[in-house]
Amino acid sequence: QVQLVESGGGLVQAGGSLRLSCAASGRTGSDYAMGWFRQVQGKERELVAAISGSGANTYYIDSVKGRFTISRDNAKNTVYLQMNSLKSEDTAVYSCAAVRQWYTGSYVTNPREYDYWGQGTQVTVSS
C-alpha cells in the first residue's frame, strides 16, 4: 500500500513561485511513475505533469511548459513540482498520484491508470 501526502501549497501573487512536495510512504522509488494533477471546483481533474520512475522522462501540459518543473528524489521517496511565473488560472487543488510501472522509463498521462492518490493541497494565485 502506498500513501501520498502533498505539501507546499498556499497563497501567492501572480508571477510568484511555489514548490509542491509529494512524500510517499511505503516502498516506491523508481518502481512507480508519478503525476501531478489539479482540479478546480466544478471542472474535471487535469494532468499537469508526469514523470517516469527513473526520473529521466517527463511530460507537461502546454499551459505549464517553461514554467513548471517536475522532479523526484527516489532516495527520499518524494516528488516535487516547482511552479514559477504563476498565473491566476493556476489556482486549483493540486494532487499527486502514483502507479507501478515495470519499465522505469515510462510516464503515465491517463488519470484512470493511477492507483494511489494524495489528498491534495490548495494553490491560490492572486492577480
Q: What is the pLDDT of residue 74?
A: 95
Encode the chain (127 residues) as per-residue pLDDT tens digits: 899 999 999 999 999 999 999 999 977 789 999 999 999 999 999 999 999 999 999 999 999 999 999 999 999 999 999 999 999 999 999 999 999 998 889 999 999 999 999 999 999 999 8
How confident is the model at residue 29, as a pLDDT? 83
| Residue in 15, 61, 57, 53 with CA at minimum distance from that of residue 37 | 61
Is there a contact between 81 and 9 (Cβ–Cβ < 8 Å)? no
Q: Are 117 and 108 in contact (CB under 8 A)?
A: no
pLDDT at residue number 26: 78
- Of 118, 120, 67, 56, which is closest to residue 90 (Cα–Cα)? 67
Amino acid 103: pLDDT = 87
The pLDDT of residue 48: 98
pLDDT at 28: 77
**What distance in Å separates the CA atoms of residue 52 and residue 32, rounded to the nearest whole number?**
7
